[in-house]
A and B are shown apart, each in its own frame.
Chain A
Amino acid sequence: MADTAASTSRGPRGPKPKRIFSGTNILLYGILILVSLYYLVPLWVMIMTSLKTMPEIRIGNVFAPPVEITFQPWIQAWSQHCTGLVCKGLSPGFWNSVQILVPSVILSIVIASINGYALINWKFKGSEVFFVILMIGAFIPYQIMLYPMVIMLRELGVYGSLTGLVIVHTIFGMPILTLLFRNYFSSVPEELFKAARVDGAGFWGIYFRIMLPMALPIFVVAIILQVTGIWNDFLFGVVFISKAENYPMTVQLNNIVNSVQGIKEYNVNMAATLLTGLVPLVVYFLSGKLFVRGIAAGAVKG
């Protein structure tokens, strides 16, 4: 009798095992695989097309992999394709975009993070009104502000230049970024700020030594938002840049893909589009990991 009691207590343990091919699993993964295929098919078509020669494309089978892989469309899209009389491909646009992107992202995030920090921790008379005004800015459609902005930039003497576009991106990013940082800093316990003041840290001391190191996850979020937003911007690039040599990459892509002259070079168009989309893609891949790590390490209170 004692033996049987012991053997039952030594029996299988742990949670009840689940079958891999259960009905719910098949349904769940089936749907997931279908949906991801649905999203991946256009990417597949684009990559395959960009690696084919024009004669092969004309055969018509868009889903088929290239019989003969060629990187010529990529080279052409990057540095040789002609728009108008200039035959430099997308590369000047890429460097323009970089020159717009880097200062815009840094400037807007630096200012917005200080805004958010000051609005939460150093409340001044009218700080609430200031915040409300800033928020209204987030809800007004861009189109309304385009023309006044053009006049303002003209008066400042920076209309048409890359500097002008940097200013525009910094201003338009301000409401949403300030809101982002304000909300994040409001979740930091007030006593931490008080402790730092008792310890003799001032406005900048608390910002740089206490708040900034704790705010890394939200900085990553802000960088993702701004990099993708500014890189993908087309409207401001068209409106606020007057000279073709200053066009950002997106505008140049449009000029290549939508050119009405000559034959449509689908492989070059696909390569140009993929090249343009590369930067946000890289940012997502790199910062996604950082983002998760930042959140995991960001525990303030235990």
Chain B
Amino acid sequence: MSTSKYSVQIKDLDLAFGAVKVLNSLDLDIGEGEFLVLLGSSGCGKSTLLNCIAGLLEPTDGEIWIKGENVTWKEPSERGIGMVFQSYALYPQMTVEGNMSFGLKNARVPADEIKKRVARAAAVLQIEPLLQRKPGALSGGQRQRVAIGRALVRDVDVFLFDEPLSNLDAKLRADLRVEIKRLHQQLKNTMIYVTHDQVEAMTLADRIAIMKSGNIMQLSTPDEIYNRPQNKYVADFIGSPSMNFIGGDLERGTFKSGGIVLPMTGYQFAAPQVADRPATIGIRPEHVATGALVAAAPIKLDTVVDLVEPMGSDTLVWIKLGDMPFRVRMDGQARVHHGDHLTIGIDPSKASLFDTKTEVRL
């Protein structure tokens, strides 16, 4: 069991605080060198799971394996993990160098080796001029870089990130996001990254695990999650502006709702035969064709513009489809106004169809 193609394995993990179940028999296999993002709204258990992997929280039941070894009852420092926290968690009384070498000193690494590793990590993160400063004299971005450096010097197998960019302003967040991605390309370590920001998740992840109240709702590539969400929760959570949903019925391969009839030709059903049932269709605002593109779309609908939200790069247009409000994303140059007639084109192959009762993809 010493070799495993998985870097981290979560087996049937349970965690309950009293009667409150925070993690619900989770299973998760994370490949060697994979960048996995745990995504969810606050309270979904994503940080709790990360703390369990780090060994900072004891699971009620289940096992955690790292590199083919059961580490469920091991100390955090014995697991081969490095962790980066949202609040940076730098030791305020130590210099940057002291912060980065603290773990190595605890592990009784020889002094010249410590110096070498700190210098190497500082070079990677471009923080060499800051080594003798204290955290109080650093900016937020610099502090988070030092925090990453602290994990880097320890030559760990697995990096854990707990919302590392949430305390930074928008511009810095985008910069550091790119740096983390570059770091992963360079180091090829396994990285597990917790965030509630879907942009971070989509841009960084090899795979995303979307969590909700202690369960994983979907675990797939960003592409799969965006284009083929497995349930309505994931479909609604991912994408900005979020997906349009219309409730109706599926009758012999055709979706009907009020006056709207959408033959689902070209749509890939999950099963070859899908029985008639109440269904909900989900269409992303950016998947609605307008203008010249309507001609190519299999289905064309005439609508009336209700409200226009210009956002610079594109324009969000609210229309009425049947009685339902429906969002359409048009380009930034679109000149439409309240009351205008708008013909839209819908491609069923880009839509998502869910069972209304179970909310599972059909």
Question: Could you tell me which A residues sit within 8 Å of B by CB distance?
Answer: 189, 191-192, 194-201, 205, 209-210, 213-214, 299-302
Residues in B lying within 8 Å of A, measured CB to CB:
51, 54-56, 75-77, 81-83, 85-87, 89-93, 102-103, 106-107, 135-136, 138, 140, 143, 147, 150, 154, 162
On whether the beta carbons of B103 and A191 are closer than 8 Å, the reply is no
Main SS at interface, chain A: helix
User: Please, which residues of chain B bring their CB within 8 A of the CB of A301?
Assistant: 87
Asked whether, in the complex, the Cβ of A214 is within 8 Å of the Cβ of B103, the reply is no
**Contact A199 B106, CB 8 Å, known A191-B85, A191-B87:** yes
Chain A hits for B83, CB < 8 A = 194-195, 198
Q: Are A302 and B102 in contact (CB under 8 A)?
A: no
Closest to A301 in B: B87
Contact among A189, A196, A302 with B136 in the assembled complex (CB-CB below 8 Å) = A302
C-alpha gap A299/B154 in the complex (Å): 27
The answer on a CB contact under 8 Å between B85 and A194 is yes
B102 adjacent to A209 (CB under 8 Å): yes
Nearest chain A CB to B31 CB, angstrom units: 23
Query: From residue B95, how far is it (CB to closest CB) to chain A in Å?
Result: 13
Measured in the bound complex, the distance between the Cα atoms of B93 and A213 in whole Å is 7
The CA-CA distance from A229 to B83 in the complex, in Å, is 44
Least CB separation from A189: chain B residue: B87
Task: Choose among B76, B92, B106, B162 the residue that contacts A299 (Cβ–Cβ < 8 A).
Answer: B92
Contact of B91 among A194, A196, A299, A302 (CB under 8 A): A196
Across the interface, A195 reaches (CB within 8 A) one of B51, B75, B143, B150, namely B150
A-B contact pairs, 13 of them (CB 8 A): A191-B87, A194-B54, A195-B89, A198-B103, A199-B102, A199-B103, A199-B154, A201-B77, A201-B102, A213-B93, A299-B136, A302-B136, A302-B138
Q: How far is the CA of A197 from the CA of B58 in the complex (A)?
A: 14
Are A194 and B77 CB-contacts (below 8 A) given A199-B102, A200-B103? Answer: no
A198 / chain B contacts, CB cutoff of 8 Å: 54, 56, 76-77, 81-83, 103
| B50 CB to nearest A CB, Å | 11
- Given that A199-B102, A200-B106 are known contacts, is A194 also in contact with B56, CB under 8 Å in the complex? yes
Q: Establish whether residues A191 and B92, one from each chain, have CB atoms under 8 Å apart when the complex forms.
A: no
What chain A residues lie within 8 Å of B93 (beta carbons)?
Answer: 213-214
- CA of A301 to CA of B107 in the docked complex: distance in angstroms? 27
A216 to B85 alpha-carbon distance, docked (Å):
25
Cα distance, A205 to B102, chains bound together (Å): 11
Distance between Cα atoms of A7 and B140 in the complex (Å): 44
Chain B residue with minimal CB distance to A298? B92
Complex alpha-carbon distance, A177 and B175, angstroms: 46
In the complex, what residue of chain B is closest to A200 when comparing beta carbons?
Answer: B77
